Amino acid sequence: MTEPYKRIHVSTFEEFFKSEDWRRNWIATNRPGPENEVQAHDKRMSDRDEKRKEYRKRFPFTVILRGAYPAHDFVNRWCWQNIGPMQCEECHDTSSEYPGCPLVLATEYIQTGWYNTQAGRRVYWSEKAYIEEKVPKHSHEGTWMGYWLGKTGYDYGYSEYYFQNESDRDKFFAATPIFFTLGERYEKENEMTTMTAEKAVHQSKWGYHPISLDASKKLRFINGVYAKAQHLAGAWERWERKLPENRVVKRAVKDASGMKIGKEIVMDAAGNPVQWGEPQVCSLFHEKVPGHVKYGSFVRAVAKDNGFGDKILFASRQARTPEPTPEDVKPFPFTEEEIDRLYETAKAWK
């Protein structure tokens, strides 16, 4: 990744049109024959120009930037934080590397993992991730908006930013030096770095650990709740698959020798079948997804694992594994304050 490619630049529509004109000529020269591809290109440019005119009626102050995809995401988040909500008919911040939408940010969790280098060294990583399934389709009302003009390279292109107020446009333009990176997720050229909690070291009689013993015990408790939640999620799916009249409690029937010979429905004192109550699903680790799996002619929901339990399991193992020196302790994906909050949530649910 070269430096001009890495940074984002202030540009003009004429510059973008020039690159598109080069693309049109290339298509016409290298793909002779039917003109449908050239015509489609011309129609896209015409439609784009009409939309720009429409947007400028409501948002007359504009700035065009060209740069890599993450840089545009970084710019959008800056606008959310410093100007306010984006004007859009449908929010797509779930696919952004730097979301600013509050509904997306509310699903944030720490995703962790590891990989081995060619030298055989294990490298641990952690980063913020978001659960797209928990974000409903929605729109925003705001005083600015972004419009993607087009892609002109690999994960690279032009975007135009529109503002209702000239003061917001001037504030945006003055901040363009801040945008001259791909953000904190890309500290080194062409290399994605990780967002980890601050490294800490705690000593035990076996070695050095990234968190305290008390926090490690809380993580083990949360991990135990996850194990319980997995069993309950399976029980809920079995309950969901049954028709309402079949959600009754049954017990084994045995003969005189104690051999199981069948089952019978358990009745209450009034002679009515005892109903199998709906099992709980822990929202910390699972989410009910309706109409996900088809069983014959019936479409049933599932309790989908959101992946957070695996992160807890990984972190719990890392916390319990001692390292010989403080320098060998890897950065930990959770702070002790975050562990305390998760512990209280898990304890309240259990």
pTM, entire model = 0.53
Residues 276 and 261: their CA atoms lie apart, in Å, by 22
Residues 193 and 189: their CA atoms lie apart, in Å, by 10
Task: Indicate whether 324 pLDDT > 60.
Answer: yes
The percentage of residues in the chain with a pLDDT greater than 90, rounded to a whole number, is 18
Closest CA to 71 of 164, 153, 169: 153
- Domain extents in the chain: 3-179, 202-249+275-349
CA 156 to mean position of chain CA atoms: 22
Quick: pLDDT tens for 24-50: 787 777 776 656 777 777 788 888 888
Quick: pLDDT tens for 121-173: 766 666 777 888 888 889 999 999 999 988 887 788 899 999 999 999 888 88
Query: End-to-end alpha-carbon separation of the chain, Å?
Result: 50
Q: String of b and e for 239-275 (b: at least 16 CB within 10 Å)?
A: ebeeeeeebeeeeeeeeeeeeeeeeeeeeeeeeeeee
- Say if residues 147 and 159 touch (Cβ distance below 8 Å): yes
Mean pLDDT across the chain: 81
